[in-house]
Amino acid sequence: MTNDPSTSTRGERRRARTRSRLVGAAQSLFAEQGVEATAIAAITERADVGFGSFYNHFESKEEIAEAALAEAVDAQKLALFELIDELTDPAEVVALAHAFLVGQAIVDPTFGWLLVRLDASHRLLIRALGGRARQDIRDGIAAGRFLTADPEVTFFATGGALLLVMRAVLDGDLGDDPGLRHCEGLLRMLGVPEGEVADIAQRANAAVAPGAGVGDPGR
Amino acid sequence: MTNDPSTSTRGERRRARTRSRLVGAAQSLFAEQGVEATAIAAITERADVGFGSFYNHFESKEEIAEAALAEAVDAQKLALFELIDELTDPAEVVALAHAFLVGQAIVDPTFGWLLVRLDASHRLLIRALGGRARQDIRDGIAAGRFLTADPEVTFFATGGALLLVMRAVLDGDLGDDPGLRHCEGLLRMLGVPEGEVADIAQRANAAVAPGAGVGDPGR
DNA sequence: ATTATCTATAGATCTATAGATAATGC
DNA sequence: ATTATCTATAGATCTATAGATAATGC
């Protein structure tokens, strides 16, 4: 994935491996402690890489934070986009995306904590996830499927709800089926008719349930 | 407010003033930069107080962060509780609380940023605001006014939505009437019938509008 | 020969404390 | 006499860089 013997030299591959170790170490440390509380030396140490090598790849902690988030999100995006690929109803798309992310917080806490902790750096997160989410909301409004008047308010409200629910899940503060319950609230917020809420929420959560094709537990 | 000539000595009042200056300086600095990025020396400097005096009042930055949040929230709680005092409908109570806080983000950005930036420290915030909010949600469910199945999920979802909407307001990313739009979404999320949503949201926002008795702009 | 990595360190913070100075209480 | 505040500083980080070592490319 990060190496390609045919189009790169051994040196390039070695370099890529070092970079990859740094990003992986940063992801787990940022997830555990947040960005500010993590020293660069802690990253190189966990990556088992010489301290100075850090600066061969990144100029600052902010820069590796951006890479750490972007790479984590990109990996998840693939799985998510595949799931929502064939859906046409914006309500189903949004429900599934939220169900997926709540599910990921359970299945891959490192990823979950990374998202939640980077809320501090916020702009990174909005950029990483916001593009598609915004469009889905606008689509839903245009299709008359969502009743909300202001797509931006809806974007921030749904995003904020998702992040704090994920955080509560990570903290172990929620009971059964947090993803299902969250989806129900989400769909109601969007203005989906009450008669459809339970059904769509259920389908979305069934689609992301373990065993439904979203493998790779642990990490 | 912080001084009481009749029941305290001059020394106690001097001490209280120093503490108060420290907390005020910490509030504005935490609002601007967050807790971790703020050095204790920066707090004493802005408070115009000797560096060592800090440790006469607080043992650590975390401790003053707790005080900074608690005092800011307590001040706002008074105003808010007065507004919701006579309301009986949980939907109106929750709507008004959210309208109030979105409004405060506009009117008193220092307070708004403090809340938003302390989301990092999160547990402080949940403790500061969570008690009453949880009860209001449970009341609404018990009264059949809210349709949500899990009060905890609802609590985190509504709280997260509020915080990110406040943050978007502070960033200047939202258009007209963000408080009104947010309340509409909030009420829908709770399952308040569509026919009542616009009306309740409007009343809640009218009640907290400038000139409706929630004075003290600026700070 | 070139490029990446590693080790060692200078310089810049930042925290917590010790001891001196100033203000209050009796 | 007591208590609070202030100044100065030791010790602990943490970042960014310089220079040495190791690995790759030709």
B126-165 pLDDT, tens digit each: 988 899 999 999 999 999 999 999 999 999 999 999 999 9
**How far, in Å, CA of B64 to CA of B71, rounded?**
10
Predicted local confidence at residue B2, as pLDDT: 46
Q: What is the mean pLDDT of residues B61-87?
A: 94
The upper half-sphere exposure of residue A218, i.e. CA atoms within 13 Å in the direction of its Cβ, equals 1
Residue B124 and residue B66 in contact, taking contact as beta carbons nearer than 8 Å: yes
pLDDT (tens digit per residue) in A136-186 = 999 999 999 999 999 999 999 999 999 999 999 999 999 999 999 999 999
**How far, in Å, CA of B65 to CA of B205, rounded?**
30
Residue B163 forms contact with A (CB below 8 Å):
yes
Task: Supply the pTM of this predicted model.
Answer: 0.92
| Nearest-CB residue to B153 (from A36, A152, A165) | A165
Cβ <8 Å between A153 and B191: no
Query: Is 50 exceeded by the pLDDT of residue B215?
Result: no
pLDDT (tens digit per residue) in A95-142 = 999 999 999 999 999 999 999 998 878 888 898 889 999 999 999 999
| B84 three-state secondary structure | helix
Q: Does nucleic acid strand D have an atom less than 7 angstroms from the CB of B21?
A: no
Residue A18 and residue A49 in contact, taking contact as beta carbons nearer than 8 Å: yes
Predicted local confidence at residue B218, as pLDDT: 41
Q: Does nucleic acid strand D have an atom less than 7 angstroms from the CB of A81?
A: no
| B118 three-state secondary structure | coil
> How far does the CA of residue B28 sit from the closest CA of chain A (Å)?
17
pLDDT (tens digit per residue) in A72-101 = 999 999 999 999 999 999 999 999 999 999
A146: phi then psi, degrees, rounded to nearest 5: -110, 145
Predicted local confidence at residue A8, as pLDDT: 78
The lowest-confidence range among A4-18, B69-83, B94-108 is A4-18
Query: Is 60 exceeded by the pLDDT of residue A15?
Result: yes
Cβ <8 Å between A161 and B157: yes
pLDDT (tens digit per residue) in A185-207 = 999 999 999 999 999 999 999 99
**How far, in Å, CA of B22 to CA of B105, rounded?**
23
Query: Is 90 exceeded by the pLDDT of residue B216?
Result: no
Residue A185 and residue A161 in contact, taking contact as beta carbons nearer than 8 Å: yes
**What value does the mean pLDDT of chain B take?**
92
Query: Is 60 exceeded by the pLDDT of residue A217?
Result: no
Task: Give the residue with greater pLDDT, B166 vs B4.
Answer: B166
Q: What is the mean pLDDT of residues B190-204?
A: 98
Which residue has its C-alpha nearest to nucleotide D18's C1'? A52
Predicted local confidence at residue A120, as pLDDT: 75
CA distances from B84 to A104, B76, B94, B98, B132 (A): 38, 13, 9, 11, 12
Nucleotide nearest to B36 (CA to C1'): C14
pLDDT (tens digit per residue) in A24-81 = 999 999 999 999 999 999 999 999 999 999 999 999 999 999 999 999 999 999 999 9
Q: What is the mean pLDDT of residues B162-177?
A: 96
How long is the CA A110 to C1' D12 vector, in angstroms? 30
Task: Give the residue with greater pLDDT, B42 vs A120.
Answer: B42
Residue A147 forms contact with B (CB below 8 Å):
yes
CA dihedral sign of residues B99, B100, B104, B105: negative
From the list B157, B153, B189, B145, the residue with the least C-alpha distance to A192 is B189
Query: Is 90 exceeded by the pLDDT of residue B109?
Result: yes
Pairs across A and B, CB distance < 8 A: 130
Cβ <8 Å between B184 and A148: yes
Instruction: List CB contacts of B181: < 8 A, sequence separation 6 or more.
Output: A148, A149, A150, A153, A154, B174
Q: Does nucleic acid strand D have an atom less than 7 angstroms from the CB of B14?
A: yes
Query: Is 90 exceeded by the pLDDT of residue A211?
Result: no
A4: phi then psi, degrees, rounded to nearest 5: -145, 95
For B138, the token pair is 């449970």
Cβ <8 Å between B173 and A152: yes
Instruction: List CB contacts of A7: < 8 A, sequence separation 6 or more.
Output: none
**How far, in Å, CA of A47 to CA of A22, rounded?**
5
Q: Does nucleic acid strand D have an atom less than 7 angstroms from the CB of A39?
A: yes
Cβ <8 Å between B154 and A185: yes
Task: Give the residue with greater pLDDT, A210 vs A135.
Answer: A135
What is the 3-state composition of chain B as percent helix, strand, coil, each rounded to the nearest 5? 70, 0, 30
CA-nearest residue to A184 within chain B is B148
Nucleotide nearest to B52 (CA to C1'): D6
Residue B198 forms contact with A (CB below 8 Å):
no
Nucleotide nearest to B55 (CA to C1'): C16
